[in-house]
Amino acid sequence: MSDIVIADNPEQKRWEARDGDEVVGFAEYILTDELAVFPHTVVHREGEGIGGKIVRAALDAVRAEGTRKVMPQCPFVKSCIQKHPEYADLVY
């Protein structure tokens, strides 16, 4: 695996994983005053932990911002939260 960079792309309303110029995964979001809704996650390369890294970065950002709760509509995001109970307090 190359150096994967995880970053928010607010123009696309998604957290992205990039390997150089290539987007190798993303988690879409919808922000309201009270919620960060995660409806969909896509990972183009399986087995590298990319999806989990994207979701953890997104959840860490929600926590750091401190004003929203998370609504995990995406089954993958729900699964990540179940595997990492330290994020359970963020769930709406």
The pLDDT tens digits of the residues spanning 33-64 come to 999 999 999 999 989 999 999 999 999 999 99
Superfamily of domain 4-90: Gcn5-related N-acetyltransferase (GNAT) (3.40.630.30)
What is the rounded CA–CA span in Å between residue 61 and residue 89? 14
- 71-82 pLDDT, tens digit per residue, is 999 999 999 999
Q: Which residues make beta-bridge pairs with 4?
A: 19
AA letter at 10:
P
pTM as predicted: 0.94
The count of other CB atoms within 10 Å of the CB of residue 40 is: 14
CB of 57 closer than 8 Å to CB of 41: no
Q: Are strands 22-31 and 14-19 parallel, antiparallel or unpaired?
A: antiparallel
CB atoms < 10 A from the CB of 81, how many?
A: 20
